Amino acid sequence: MRAGKFFLADDRLLYVSNIIWCTGFRRDFSLIDLPIFGEDGYPHEHRGVVPAAPGLYFVGLVFQSNIFSTLIGGVSRDADYLVNQILDRPRQG
């Protein structure tokens, strides 16, 4: 991701409305080149929604909404919330 746009390895531009970044077992935000990160290395987000980058969402962050946000059994609550945020987001284009 560069300048708010998503590119493939061969520099072809992808036209996407939403990106959900699932962090997995280790956090790795190296593909995101946006000014959305704090000094601690974590994105500025609220419950996975990144206000400074409309259409960018995170799932699996530590304490995203509760202590279980990083666990398989708890991530579904955050994912449900994000799906509703995406569905309620105004369409562009």
What are the phi and psi torsion angles at 61 (to 5°)? -75, 150
Q: Which residues pair with 22 in a beta bridge?
A: 59
The pLDDT tens digits of the residues spanning 45-72 come to 999 999 999 888 998 888 888 888 888 8
- Distance of alpha carbon 29 from alpha carbon 23, whole angstroms: 8
User: Which whole-number Å values give the CA distances from 12 to 5, 30, 48, in the listed order?
Assistant: 10, 19, 27
pTM score above 0.85: no
User: Which whole-number Å values give the CA distances from 87 to 5, 11, 13, 17, 24, in the listed order?
Assistant: 21, 29, 24, 11, 24
Number of domains the chain contains: 1
Structural domain that includes position 64: 1-25+33-93
The pLDDT tens digits of the residues spanning 11-51 come to 889 887 777 776 666 778 888 889 999 999 999 999 999 99
